[in-house]
Structure 1
Amino acid sequence: MTTPTAPESFSSATPKPAAPQSATTSPLIKGRTVWISDIHLGSRDCKAEYLLKFLDNISCDTLYLVGDIIDMWAMKKKFRWPQQHYNVMLKLYELANNGTRIIYVPGNHDEPMRRFTGNLFGPIEIIEEHEYTCADGKRYLIMHGDAMDAYINLSHLTRFVGDIGYGLLLFINRWANRWRKLMRRPYFSLAGMIKNNIKGAKHAIETYQKEATDEARRRGFDGVICGHIHYPDMCEENGIRYCNTGDWIENCTAIVEDFSGEMRLLHYSDQVQWQEATDNKVAQAA
Protein backbone atom coordinates (compact mmCIF):
# COMPACT_ATOMS: atom_id res chain seq x y z
CA MET A 1 0.00 0.00 0.00
CA THR A 2 1.09 3.55 -0.60
CA THR A 3 0.83 6.44 1.82
CA PRO A 4 -1.20 9.33 0.36
CA THR A 5 -0.77 12.95 1.30
CA ALA A 6 -3.08 14.04 4.10
CA PRO A 7 -5.94 16.36 3.14
CA GLU A 8 -4.95 20.01 3.36
CA SER A 9 -7.55 20.73 6.04
CA PHE A 10 -5.76 18.34 8.42
CA SER A 11 -2.14 18.78 7.39
CA SER A 12 -2.37 22.55 7.87
CA ALA A 13 -3.27 22.19 11.56
CA THR A 14 -0.73 24.02 13.68
CA PRO A 15 -1.16 23.28 17.41
CA LYS A 16 1.86 22.13 19.38
CA PRO A 17 2.41 18.39 18.87
CA ALA A 18 2.01 17.50 22.54
CA ALA A 19 1.26 13.83 22.91
CA PRO A 20 -1.78 12.94 25.01
CA GLN A 21 -1.16 11.49 28.42
CA SER A 22 -1.51 7.72 28.48
CA ALA A 23 -3.49 6.02 31.19
CA THR A 24 -1.32 4.76 34.06
CA THR A 25 -3.77 2.03 35.11
CA SER A 26 -4.98 -1.06 33.27
CA PRO A 27 -7.61 -0.41 30.57
CA LEU A 28 -11.18 -0.46 31.86
CA ILE A 29 -12.48 -1.99 28.64
CA LYS A 30 -10.81 -4.96 26.98
CA GLY A 31 -12.26 -6.47 23.84
CA ARG A 32 -11.60 -8.07 20.50
CA THR A 33 -12.94 -5.15 18.46
CA VAL A 34 -14.26 -1.65 19.17
CA TRP A 35 -16.35 0.56 16.86
CA ILE A 36 -16.76 4.33 17.18
CA SER A 37 -18.08 6.91 14.71
CA ASP A 38 -19.18 10.49 14.21
CA ILE A 39 -16.41 12.08 16.25
CA HIS A 40 -16.51 15.30 14.18
CA LEU A 41 -13.00 16.51 14.95
CA GLY A 42 -12.78 20.15 13.89
CA SER A 43 -16.28 21.01 15.08
CA ARG A 44 -16.87 22.88 18.32
CA ASP A 45 -19.28 20.22 19.61
CA CYS A 46 -16.83 17.31 19.42
CA LYS A 47 -16.41 15.75 22.88
CA ALA A 48 -12.65 15.30 22.43
CA GLU A 49 -12.03 15.37 26.20
CA TYR A 50 -14.29 12.35 26.75
CA LEU A 51 -12.91 10.62 23.67
CA LEU A 52 -9.32 10.90 24.87
CA LYS A 53 -10.30 9.33 28.20
CA PHE A 54 -12.08 6.58 26.28
CA LEU A 55 -9.05 5.88 24.10
CA ASP A 56 -6.84 5.78 27.19
CA ASN A 57 -9.09 3.15 28.73
CA ILE A 58 -9.53 0.60 25.96
CA SER A 59 -7.49 -2.35 24.82
CA CYS A 60 -8.54 -4.11 21.61
CA ASP A 61 -7.13 -5.95 18.63
CA THR A 62 -9.03 -3.83 16.10
CA LEU A 63 -10.57 -0.35 16.25
CA TYR A 64 -13.02 0.75 13.56
CA LEU A 65 -13.56 4.45 12.86
CA VAL A 66 -16.97 4.33 11.17
CA GLY A 67 -17.07 7.70 9.44
CA ASP A 68 -17.36 11.43 10.14
CA ILE A 69 -14.13 11.32 12.11
CA ILE A 70 -12.95 14.68 10.77
CA ASP A 71 -15.72 17.24 10.15
CA MET A 72 -14.55 18.87 6.93
CA TRP A 73 -17.94 20.57 6.52
CA ALA A 74 -17.52 22.43 9.80
CA MET A 75 -13.89 23.33 9.09
CA LYS A 76 -14.81 24.67 5.66
CA LYS A 77 -17.15 27.16 7.37
CA LYS A 78 -14.67 28.05 10.10
CA PHE A 79 -11.34 26.32 10.55
CA ARG A 80 -10.63 25.19 14.08
CA TRP A 81 -8.30 22.47 15.31
CA PRO A 82 -7.75 22.80 19.07
CA GLN A 83 -5.02 20.91 20.88
CA GLN A 84 -7.37 18.20 22.17
CA HIS A 85 -8.53 17.39 18.64
CA TYR A 86 -4.90 17.12 17.57
CA ASN A 87 -4.25 14.88 20.58
CA VAL A 88 -7.02 12.52 19.46
CA MET A 89 -5.19 11.97 16.18
CA LEU A 90 -1.93 11.45 18.04
CA LYS A 91 -3.60 8.92 20.32
CA LEU A 92 -5.00 7.00 17.35
CA TYR A 93 -1.53 6.88 15.83
CA GLU A 94 -0.13 5.71 19.17
CA LEU A 95 -2.66 2.87 19.37
CA ALA A 96 -1.90 1.83 15.79
CA ASN A 97 1.85 1.91 16.35
CA ASN A 98 1.40 -0.20 19.50
CA GLY A 99 -0.33 -3.00 17.63
CA THR A 100 -4.03 -2.10 17.37
CA ARG A 101 -5.29 -2.45 13.82
CA ILE A 102 -7.24 0.72 12.97
CA ILE A 103 -9.64 0.73 10.03
CA TYR A 104 -11.13 4.04 8.90
CA VAL A 105 -14.42 3.91 6.96
CA PRO A 106 -15.05 7.54 5.83
CA GLY A 107 -18.48 9.16 6.04
CA ASN A 108 -20.16 12.13 4.39
CA HIS A 109 -18.48 14.80 6.56
CA ASP A 110 -15.05 13.38 5.69
CA GLU A 111 -15.98 12.16 2.21
CA PRO A 112 -12.72 13.41 0.58
CA MET A 113 -10.95 10.63 2.49
CA ARG A 114 -12.77 8.12 0.27
CA ARG A 115 -10.34 9.08 -2.49
CA PHE A 116 -7.67 7.31 -0.42
CA THR A 117 -9.58 4.00 -0.17
CA GLY A 118 -7.16 1.09 -0.22
CA ASN A 119 -4.30 3.21 1.07
CA LEU A 120 -2.85 4.12 4.43
CA PHE A 121 -3.27 7.36 6.37
CA GLY A 122 -0.09 6.99 8.39
CA PRO A 123 -0.62 3.61 10.13
CA ILE A 124 -4.42 3.73 9.63
CA GLU A 125 -6.12 1.72 6.86
CA ILE A 126 -8.79 3.50 4.79
CA ILE A 127 -11.61 1.32 3.44
CA GLU A 128 -14.93 2.58 2.02
CA GLU A 129 -16.88 -0.26 3.65
CA HIS A 130 -15.84 -3.53 5.18
CA GLU A 131 -16.93 -7.08 5.97
CA TYR A 132 -16.29 -8.18 9.55
CA THR A 133 -16.59 -11.65 11.05
CA CYS A 134 -17.22 -11.80 14.79
CA ALA A 135 -15.70 -14.41 17.09
CA ASP A 136 -19.03 -16.30 16.95
CA GLY A 137 -18.83 -16.52 13.15
CA LYS A 138 -21.51 -13.94 12.33
CA ARG A 139 -20.73 -11.61 9.43
CA TYR A 140 -21.38 -7.87 9.61
CA LEU A 141 -21.44 -5.15 6.99
CA ILE A 142 -19.48 -2.13 8.25
CA MET A 143 -20.50 1.17 6.64
CA HIS A 144 -20.99 4.76 7.72
CA GLY A 145 -24.63 4.84 6.61
CA ASP A 146 -24.96 8.02 4.57
CA ALA A 147 -25.95 5.86 1.59
CA MET A 148 -29.30 5.47 3.37
CA ASP A 149 -29.97 9.23 3.12
CA ALA A 150 -31.96 8.73 -0.09
CA TYR A 151 -34.64 7.02 2.00
CA ILE A 152 -34.90 9.57 4.83
CA ASN A 153 -34.06 12.95 3.24
CA LEU A 154 -37.73 13.92 3.06
CA SER A 155 -38.56 12.57 6.49
CA HIS A 156 -39.96 14.43 9.46
CA LEU A 157 -36.51 14.27 11.04
CA THR A 158 -34.94 16.28 8.23
CA ARG A 159 -37.75 18.83 8.28
CA PHE A 160 -37.67 19.09 12.05
CA VAL A 161 -33.91 19.56 12.20
CA GLY A 162 -34.14 22.03 9.34
CA ASP A 163 -36.82 24.08 11.07
CA ILE A 164 -35.33 24.14 14.55
CA GLY A 165 -31.71 23.99 13.52
CA TYR A 166 -29.48 21.14 14.57
CA GLY A 167 -26.72 23.66 15.22
CA LEU A 168 -28.97 25.51 17.64
CA LEU A 169 -29.77 22.28 19.47
CA LEU A 170 -26.08 21.55 19.85
CA PHE A 171 -25.43 25.13 21.01
CA ILE A 172 -28.07 24.79 23.74
CA ASN A 173 -26.78 21.32 24.56
CA ARG A 174 -23.23 22.64 24.93
CA TRP A 175 -24.11 25.44 27.33
CA ALA A 176 -26.61 23.36 29.29
CA ASN A 177 -23.97 20.73 29.93
CA ARG A 178 -21.40 23.30 31.01
CA TRP A 179 -23.89 24.35 33.67
CA ARG A 180 -24.64 20.72 34.57
CA LYS A 181 -20.93 20.02 34.96
CA LEU A 182 -20.57 22.96 37.35
CA MET A 183 -23.49 21.55 39.31
CA ARG A 184 -21.83 18.10 39.26
CA ARG A 185 -24.69 16.67 37.23
CA PRO A 186 -24.14 13.93 34.62
CA TYR A 187 -23.90 14.69 30.91
CA PHE A 188 -27.29 14.90 29.17
CA SER A 189 -28.03 14.85 25.43
CA LEU A 190 -30.77 17.34 24.53
CA ALA A 191 -30.83 16.27 20.88
CA GLY A 192 -31.04 12.63 21.95
CA MET A 193 -34.03 13.40 24.15
CA ILE A 194 -35.77 15.10 21.21
CA LYS A 195 -35.11 12.13 18.94
CA ASN A 196 -36.64 9.87 21.57
CA ASN A 197 -39.79 11.96 22.00
CA ILE A 198 -40.67 13.47 18.60
CA LYS A 199 -42.84 11.11 16.57
CA GLY A 200 -41.48 12.22 13.19
CA ALA A 201 -37.88 11.88 14.34
CA LYS A 202 -38.53 8.38 15.65
CA HIS A 203 -40.11 7.44 12.32
CA ALA A 204 -37.02 8.65 10.43
CA ILE A 205 -34.73 6.62 12.70
CA GLU A 206 -36.87 3.52 12.19
CA THR A 207 -36.76 4.06 8.41
CA TYR A 208 -32.98 4.35 8.48
CA GLN A 209 -32.72 1.20 10.58
CA LYS A 210 -34.96 -0.76 8.20
CA GLU A 211 -33.03 0.34 5.10
CA ALA A 212 -29.67 -0.48 6.71
CA THR A 213 -30.79 -3.98 7.72
CA ASP A 214 -32.42 -4.56 4.33
CA GLU A 215 -29.10 -3.69 2.69
CA ALA A 216 -27.28 -6.17 4.93
CA ARG A 217 -29.86 -8.87 4.15
CA ARG A 218 -29.64 -8.29 0.38
CA ARG A 219 -25.88 -8.80 0.58
CA GLY A 220 -26.00 -11.92 2.71
CA PHE A 221 -24.79 -10.50 6.04
CA ASP A 222 -26.01 -11.41 9.51
CA GLY A 223 -25.96 -7.79 10.63
CA VAL A 224 -24.86 -4.24 10.00
CA ILE A 225 -22.71 -1.86 12.05
CA CYS A 226 -23.08 1.80 11.12
CA GLY A 227 -23.30 5.34 12.47
CA HIS A 228 -24.37 8.58 10.75
CA ILE A 229 -27.64 9.43 12.54
CA HIS A 230 -26.18 10.03 16.03
CA TYR A 231 -28.60 7.55 17.59
CA PRO A 232 -26.88 4.62 19.33
CA ASP A 233 -28.85 1.39 19.29
CA MET A 234 -28.60 -2.40 19.11
CA CYS A 235 -31.59 -4.50 18.08
CA GLU A 236 -32.89 -7.20 15.72
CA GLU A 237 -34.78 -6.24 12.57
CA ASN A 238 -36.37 -9.25 10.85
CA GLY A 239 -33.52 -11.54 11.84
CA ILE A 240 -30.75 -9.06 11.01
CA ARG A 241 -28.70 -7.52 13.84
CA TYR A 242 -28.63 -3.71 13.74
CA CYS A 243 -25.82 -1.94 15.60
CA ASN A 244 -25.47 1.84 15.54
CA THR A 245 -22.32 3.20 17.15
CA GLY A 246 -23.86 6.57 18.03
CA ASP A 247 -21.48 9.53 18.12
CA TRP A 248 -19.12 11.76 20.10
CA ILE A 249 -21.19 14.92 19.59
CA GLU A 250 -24.30 14.06 21.58
CA ASN A 251 -24.01 10.62 23.16
CA CYS A 252 -20.36 9.51 23.58
CA THR A 253 -20.95 5.85 22.75
CA ALA A 254 -19.10 2.84 21.38
CA ILE A 255 -19.77 -0.78 20.48
CA VAL A 256 -17.43 -3.38 21.94
CA GLU A 257 -17.13 -7.05 20.96
CA ASP A 258 -15.65 -9.38 23.57
CA PHE A 259 -13.56 -12.44 22.76
CA SER A 260 -16.62 -14.72 22.64
CA GLY A 261 -18.36 -12.57 20.02
CA GLU A 262 -20.84 -10.87 22.35
CA MET A 263 -21.40 -7.21 21.49
CA ARG A 264 -22.28 -4.40 23.90
CA LEU A 265 -23.28 -0.79 23.44
CA LEU A 266 -21.48 1.39 25.99
CA HIS A 267 -21.81 5.02 27.07
CA TYR A 268 -19.09 7.26 28.50
CA SER A 269 -18.98 10.52 30.43
CA ASP A 270 -16.59 11.79 33.05
CA GLN A 271 -19.26 11.43 35.73
CA VAL A 272 -20.45 7.88 35.08
CA GLN A 273 -17.27 6.59 33.40
CA TRP A 274 -18.25 3.46 31.45
CA GLN A 275 -21.86 2.43 31.74
CA GLU A 276 -23.64 -0.23 29.75
CA ALA A 277 -26.58 1.07 27.73
CA THR A 278 -29.68 -0.87 28.76
CA ASP A 279 -33.02 -1.37 27.03
CA ASN A 280 -31.36 -0.43 23.71
CA LYS A 281 -31.04 3.19 24.86
CA VAL A 282 -28.13 5.18 26.17
CA ALA A 283 -28.48 5.53 29.93
CA GLN A 284 -28.56 9.24 30.72
CA ALA A 285 -29.47 11.01 33.95
CA ALA A 286 -31.88 13.93 33.62
Structure 2
Amino acid sequence: MRIDQRHSGGPGREFRHRVRTLFLSDVHLGTRASKSDRLVDFLRHHDAETIYLVGDIIDGWRLRCRWHWPQAYTDLIDELFSAAQNGSRIVYVPGNHDAFLRDYPGTHFAGIEVTDSTVHVAADGRRYVVVHGDHFDKTAHVSHSVAAIGARLNAGFFALSDSWNRLRIALGLSNWSLSQWARLQVKQSIDYLGAFERDIAALAAEHRADGVICGHVHHAAMHERLGLLYINCGDWLESCTAVVERFDGTFEIKSWPAVSGVTCSRAPFGELQEA
Protein backbone atom coordinates (compact mmCIF):
# COMPACT_ATOMS: atom_id res chain seq x y z
CA MET A 1 0.00 0.00 0.00
CA ARG A 2 1.33 3.39 -0.93
CA ILE A 3 0.95 6.43 1.30
CA ASP A 4 0.42 9.72 -0.46
CA GLN A 5 1.83 12.55 1.66
CA ARG A 6 -0.18 15.46 0.38
CA HIS A 7 -2.19 18.17 2.09
CA SER A 8 -5.89 17.98 1.32
CA GLY A 9 -7.29 21.02 3.03
CA GLY A 10 -8.39 19.83 6.47
CA PRO A 11 -6.96 19.09 9.89
CA GLY A 12 -5.49 15.62 10.24
CA ARG A 13 -5.60 15.00 6.50
CA GLU A 14 -1.94 15.46 5.58
CA PHE A 15 -1.34 11.70 5.31
CA ARG A 16 -3.75 9.78 3.14
CA HIS A 17 -3.52 6.09 2.26
CA ARG A 18 -3.99 5.49 -1.45
CA VAL A 19 -5.95 2.31 -2.15
CA ARG A 20 -7.58 0.89 -5.24
CA THR A 21 -11.04 0.21 -3.78
CA LEU A 22 -13.02 0.73 -0.58
CA PHE A 23 -16.10 -1.27 0.41
CA LEU A 24 -18.35 0.17 3.15
CA SER A 25 -21.63 -1.18 4.48
CA ASP A 26 -24.20 -0.82 7.24
CA VAL A 27 -23.61 2.76 8.37
CA HIS A 28 -27.33 3.16 9.23
CA LEU A 29 -27.57 6.93 9.06
CA GLY A 30 -30.66 7.79 11.06
CA THR A 31 -29.84 5.66 14.09
CA ARG A 32 -28.13 7.10 17.15
CA ALA A 33 -25.78 4.11 17.18
CA SER A 34 -24.24 5.09 13.84
CA LYS A 35 -20.53 5.93 14.18
CA SER A 36 -20.60 8.17 11.12
CA ASP A 37 -18.00 10.50 12.66
CA ARG A 38 -15.48 7.64 12.62
CA LEU A 39 -16.31 6.90 9.00
CA VAL A 40 -15.77 10.56 8.09
CA ASP A 41 -12.34 10.38 9.72
CA PHE A 42 -11.60 7.12 7.90
CA LEU A 43 -12.48 8.65 4.52
CA ARG A 44 -10.32 11.69 5.30
CA HIS A 45 -7.35 9.34 5.64
CA HIS A 46 -7.97 7.29 2.48
CA ASP A 47 -8.07 7.99 -1.24
CA ALA A 48 -9.71 5.33 -3.40
CA GLU A 49 -10.22 4.96 -7.13
CA THR A 50 -13.59 3.30 -6.43
CA ILE A 51 -15.85 3.30 -3.38
CA TYR A 52 -18.63 0.72 -3.06
CA LEU A 53 -21.44 1.55 -0.63
CA VAL A 54 -22.66 -1.98 0.09
CA GLY A 55 -26.10 -1.24 1.48
CA ASP A 56 -27.84 0.11 4.58
CA ILE A 57 -25.88 3.35 4.39
CA ILE A 58 -29.10 5.24 5.13
CA ASP A 59 -31.58 3.67 7.55
CA GLY A 60 -34.88 4.54 5.93
CA TRP A 61 -36.79 2.43 8.45
CA ARG A 62 -35.52 4.47 11.36
CA LEU A 63 -35.92 7.83 9.64
CA ARG A 64 -39.59 7.06 8.97
CA CYS A 65 -40.12 6.55 12.71
CA ARG A 66 -38.09 9.46 14.03
CA TRP A 67 -35.93 12.01 12.22
CA HIS A 68 -32.36 12.01 13.49
CA TRP A 69 -29.79 13.79 11.30
CA PRO A 70 -26.81 15.32 13.16
CA GLN A 71 -24.02 17.30 11.52
CA ALA A 72 -21.82 14.19 11.29
CA TYR A 73 -24.25 12.71 8.74
CA THR A 74 -23.99 15.80 6.55
CA ASP A 75 -20.20 15.68 6.90
CA LEU A 76 -20.23 12.10 5.62
CA ILE A 77 -22.39 12.93 2.61
CA ASP A 78 -20.12 15.90 1.86
CA GLU A 79 -17.05 13.65 2.10
CA LEU A 80 -18.51 11.18 -0.39
CA PHE A 81 -19.52 13.97 -2.79
CA SER A 82 -16.03 15.43 -2.48
CA ALA A 83 -14.49 12.05 -3.33
CA ALA A 84 -16.74 11.80 -6.41
CA GLN A 85 -15.80 15.31 -7.53
CA ASN A 86 -12.12 14.43 -7.11
CA GLY A 87 -12.44 11.49 -9.47
CA SER A 88 -13.48 8.52 -7.31
CA ARG A 89 -16.09 6.24 -8.82
CA ILE A 90 -18.87 5.64 -6.27
CA VAL A 91 -21.23 2.68 -6.62
CA TYR A 92 -24.22 2.42 -4.28
CA VAL A 93 -25.62 -1.11 -3.82
CA PRO A 94 -28.73 -0.63 -1.62
CA GLY A 95 -29.70 -2.94 1.23
CA ASN A 96 -33.01 -3.66 2.93
CA HIS A 97 -32.90 -0.50 5.07
CA ASP A 98 -32.33 1.75 2.03
CA ALA A 99 -34.25 -0.44 -0.43
CA PHE A 100 -36.15 2.60 -1.74
CA LEU A 101 -33.05 3.35 -3.83
CA ARG A 102 -33.53 0.09 -5.74
CA ASP A 103 -36.37 1.81 -7.57
CA TYR A 104 -33.89 4.30 -9.06
CA PRO A 105 -31.11 2.35 -10.78
CA GLY A 106 -28.60 4.21 -12.92
CA THR A 107 -26.30 7.20 -12.48
CA HIS A 108 -27.57 9.98 -10.27
CA PHE A 109 -26.41 12.84 -8.02
CA ALA A 110 -22.69 13.65 -8.21
CA GLY A 111 -22.23 10.74 -10.62
CA ILE A 112 -23.06 8.09 -8.01
CA GLU A 113 -24.13 4.81 -9.62
CA VAL A 114 -27.03 2.89 -8.07
CA THR A 115 -27.41 -0.82 -8.79
CA ASP A 116 -28.95 -3.79 -6.98
CA SER A 117 -25.77 -5.83 -7.39
CA THR A 118 -22.62 -5.71 -9.49
CA VAL A 119 -19.38 -7.50 -10.28
CA HIS A 120 -16.10 -5.94 -9.18
CA VAL A 121 -12.99 -6.85 -11.18
CA ALA A 122 -9.96 -6.67 -8.90
CA ALA A 123 -6.49 -5.56 -9.94
CA ASP A 124 -5.42 -9.17 -10.48
CA GLY A 125 -8.38 -9.87 -12.78
CA ARG A 126 -10.44 -11.85 -10.31
CA ARG A 127 -14.17 -11.18 -10.22
CA TYR A 128 -16.26 -10.58 -7.10
CA VAL A 129 -20.03 -10.28 -6.83
CA VAL A 130 -20.88 -7.21 -4.73
CA VAL A 131 -24.31 -7.37 -3.08
CA HIS A 132 -25.73 -6.27 0.26
CA GLY A 133 -27.03 -9.75 1.07
CA ASP A 134 -30.50 -9.25 2.57
CA HIS A 135 -32.03 -11.40 -0.20
CA PHE A 136 -30.18 -14.36 1.35
CA ASP A 137 -31.36 -13.73 4.91
CA LYS A 138 -34.57 -15.65 5.60
CA THR A 139 -35.16 -13.62 8.76
CA ALA A 140 -35.22 -10.38 6.73
CA HIS A 141 -38.37 -11.29 4.82
CA VAL A 142 -40.93 -10.06 7.33
CA SER A 143 -43.49 -7.28 7.18
CA HIS A 144 -42.34 -3.68 7.52
CA SER A 145 -44.27 -3.30 10.77
CA VAL A 146 -42.51 -6.28 12.35
CA ALA A 147 -39.18 -5.11 10.93
CA ALA A 148 -39.72 -1.64 12.40
CA ILE A 149 -40.36 -3.11 15.85
CA GLY A 150 -37.19 -5.18 15.51
CA ALA A 151 -35.24 -2.09 14.45
CA ARG A 152 -36.41 -0.18 17.55
CA LEU A 153 -35.48 -3.09 19.82
CA ASN A 154 -32.10 -3.30 18.12
CA ALA A 155 -31.52 0.45 18.63
CA GLY A 156 -32.30 0.03 22.33
CA PHE A 157 -29.82 -2.82 22.59
CA PHE A 158 -27.13 -0.69 20.92
CA ALA A 159 -27.78 2.11 23.44
CA LEU A 160 -27.45 -0.41 26.29
CA SER A 161 -24.23 -1.72 24.77
CA ASP A 162 -22.79 1.80 24.50
CA SER A 163 -23.61 2.48 28.16
CA TRP A 164 -22.02 -0.83 29.14
CA ASN A 165 -18.84 0.09 27.27
CA ARG A 166 -18.64 3.55 28.84
CA LEU A 167 -18.81 1.86 32.25
CA ARG A 168 -16.08 -0.62 31.29
CA ILE A 169 -13.82 2.18 30.03
CA ALA A 170 -14.41 4.17 33.25
CA LEU A 171 -13.29 1.09 35.18
CA GLY A 172 -10.17 0.79 33.04
CA LEU A 173 -11.41 -2.29 31.17
CA SER A 174 -11.19 -2.94 27.44
CA ASN A 175 -14.00 -2.27 24.96
CA TRP A 176 -16.43 -5.21 24.59
CA SER A 177 -19.64 -5.29 22.57
CA LEU A 178 -22.58 -6.63 24.53
CA SER A 179 -25.00 -6.31 21.62
CA GLN A 180 -22.65 -7.96 19.13
CA TRP A 181 -22.06 -10.83 21.53
CA ALA A 182 -25.81 -11.33 22.02
CA ARG A 183 -26.52 -11.24 18.27
CA LEU A 184 -23.81 -13.81 17.58
CA GLN A 185 -25.13 -16.13 20.29
CA VAL A 186 -28.60 -16.11 18.76
CA LYS A 187 -27.43 -16.29 15.16
CA GLN A 188 -24.92 -19.06 15.77
CA SER A 189 -27.53 -21.09 17.64
CA ILE A 190 -29.62 -21.30 14.46
CA ASP A 191 -26.63 -21.48 12.08
CA TYR A 192 -27.66 -18.04 10.83
CA LEU A 193 -24.21 -16.97 9.67
CA GLY A 194 -23.37 -20.34 8.14
CA ALA A 195 -26.59 -20.46 6.12
CA PHE A 196 -26.14 -16.86 4.98
CA GLU A 197 -22.55 -17.45 3.85
CA ARG A 198 -23.43 -20.66 2.00
CA ASP A 199 -26.36 -19.08 0.15
CA ILE A 200 -24.48 -15.96 -0.88
CA ALA A 201 -21.46 -18.02 -1.94
CA ALA A 202 -23.78 -20.02 -4.21
CA LEU A 203 -24.71 -16.73 -5.92
CA ALA A 204 -21.06 -16.02 -6.66
CA ALA A 205 -20.62 -19.55 -8.01
CA GLU A 206 -23.62 -19.07 -10.33
CA HIS A 207 -21.92 -15.97 -11.75
CA ARG A 208 -18.64 -17.88 -12.14
CA ALA A 209 -17.04 -15.34 -9.81
CA ASP A 210 -14.02 -15.86 -7.57
CA GLY A 211 -15.70 -14.45 -4.51
CA VAL A 212 -18.39 -12.29 -2.97
CA ILE A 213 -18.24 -9.01 -1.05
CA CYS A 214 -21.30 -8.22 1.06
CA GLY A 215 -22.66 -6.72 4.28
CA HIS A 216 -25.99 -7.07 6.09
CA VAL A 217 -25.03 -9.44 8.94
CA HIS A 218 -22.81 -6.86 10.71
CA HIS A 219 -20.03 -9.39 11.11
CA ALA A 220 -16.73 -8.54 9.38
CA ALA A 221 -15.12 -11.68 7.99
CA MET A 222 -12.79 -12.95 5.28
CA HIS A 223 -12.26 -16.62 4.50
CA GLU A 224 -12.16 -19.24 1.76
CA ARG A 225 -13.94 -22.10 3.52
CA LEU A 226 -16.66 -22.22 0.86
CA GLY A 227 -14.34 -22.70 -2.10
CA LEU A 228 -14.21 -19.00 -2.97
CA LEU A 229 -13.30 -15.79 -1.17
CA TYR A 230 -16.09 -14.62 1.14
CA ILE A 231 -15.70 -11.05 2.45
CA ASN A 232 -18.13 -9.24 4.72
CA CYS A 233 -17.62 -5.53 5.35
CA GLY A 234 -18.92 -5.47 8.93
CA ASP A 235 -20.60 -2.24 10.01
CA TRP A 236 -20.19 1.31 11.33
CA LEU A 237 -22.32 0.78 14.42
CA GLU A 238 -19.82 -1.16 16.53
CA SER A 239 -16.98 -2.83 14.63
CA CYS A 240 -16.33 0.26 12.42
CA THR A 241 -14.75 -1.81 9.66
CA ALA A 242 -14.15 -1.35 5.95
CA VAL A 243 -12.78 -3.64 3.28
CA VAL A 244 -9.77 -2.32 1.37
CA GLU A 245 -8.44 -3.59 -1.96
CA ARG A 246 -4.78 -2.83 -2.49
CA PHE A 247 -3.27 -2.16 -5.91
CA ASP A 248 -2.09 -5.78 -6.20
CA GLY A 249 -5.64 -7.15 -5.88
CA THR A 250 -5.34 -8.39 -2.29
CA PHE A 251 -7.88 -7.42 0.35
CA GLU A 252 -7.77 -6.31 3.97
CA ILE A 253 -10.38 -5.66 6.63
CA LYS A 254 -9.59 -2.42 8.45
CA SER A 255 -11.15 -1.25 11.69
CA TRP A 256 -11.06 2.44 12.58
CA PRO A 257 -9.51 4.09 14.49
CA ALA A 258 -7.75 0.98 15.81
CA VAL A 259 -6.33 -0.83 12.79
CA SER A 260 -6.40 -4.62 12.70
CA GLY A 261 -5.63 -6.12 9.32
CA VAL A 262 -6.84 -9.39 7.85
CA THR A 263 -5.14 -10.06 4.55
CA CYS A 264 -5.58 -12.60 1.81
CA SER A 265 -2.88 -13.00 -0.80
CA ARG A 266 -3.26 -15.18 -3.88
CA ALA A 267 -1.00 -16.37 -6.62
CA PRO A 268 -1.92 -14.86 -10.01
CA PHE A 269 -3.45 -17.00 -12.72
CA GLY A 270 -4.81 -16.63 -16.22
CA GLU A 271 -7.08 -13.81 -17.27
CA LEU A 272 -10.79 -14.20 -16.57
CA GLN A 273 -13.53 -13.72 -19.09
CA GLU A 274 -16.66 -11.78 -18.17
CA ALA A 275 -19.75 -14.00 -17.92
| Matching residue's letter, 1:174 | D
Residue 82 of structure 1 corresponds to which residue in structure 2? 70
TM superposition shift of 1:184 = 6.8
TM-score of the superposition, structure 1-length normalised?
0.79
- Structure 2 partner of 1:15: none
**SS of 1:276 mapped into structure 2:** coil
Deviations 1:194-237 (A, max 9, x none): 34445745710111011010111122111100001101101113
Q: Which amino acid aligns with 2:115?
A: I
How far apart, in 1, do the equivalents of 2:15 and 2:207 lie? 40
Gap change, CA 1:200 and 1:260, over 3 Å in 2? closer
Report percent identity of matched pairs. Answer: 34
Corresponding residue to 1:215 among 203, 208, 212? 203
Aligned length: 250
Letter of the structure 1 residue corresponding to residue 94 of structure 2: P
What's the secondary structure of 2:223's corresponding residue? strand
1:171 positional shift: 1.6
- Deviations 1:60-101, CA, capped at 9 Å, x for gaps: 111100000111100101011111111110111011111111
Q: What's the Cα RMSD here?
A: 2.7
Matched with 1:95 is: 83
Task: State whether residues 152 and 208 of structure 1, in contact with CA within 8 Å, keep that contact through their aligned partners in structure 2.
Answer: no
2:36 corresponds in structure 1 to 48
Shift of 1:193: 2.4
Deviation at 1:26, TM superposition (A): 1.2
Flag the 1:201–1:113 CA change in 2: closer, same or farther, 3 A. farther
Structure 1 stretches of 5 or more lacking a match? 1-19, 280-286
- Alpha-carbon deviation of 1:119? 2.5
Q: Does 1:25 align with 2:10?
A: no
Q: 1:6 maps to what in 2?
A: none
User: CA–CA distance in 2 between the matches of 1:112 and 1:125?
Assistant: 15
Give distance in 1, aligned partners of 2:153 and 2:116. 30
Task: Give the CA deviation at 1:153.
Answer: 6.1
Q: Flag the 1:199–1:103 CA change in 2: closer, same or farther, 3 A.
A: closer
SS in 1 for 2:256: strand
Structure 2 unaligned segments of length 5 or more: list them: 1-8, 265-275
Distance between the aligned counterparts of 2:107 and 2:191, measured in 1? Answer: 38
Distance 1:182 1:87, change over 3 A: farther
The change in CA–CA distance for 1:121 and 1:185 in structure 2 (over 3 A counts) is farther
Residue 240 of structure 2 corresponds to 252
After superposition, give the CA deviation of every residue in 1:33-55 in whole Å (9 maximum; x if it has no partner): 11010001111110012111111
Matches of 1:69 and 1:243, distance apart in 2? 18
Output the CA distance in 2 between the equivalents of 1:179 and 1:224: 38
> So what's the TM-score if we normalise by structure 2?
0.82
The structure 2 residue matched to 1:122, chosen from 92, 104, 110, is 110
Alignment of 1:220-259 (within 5 A): 220-259=208-247
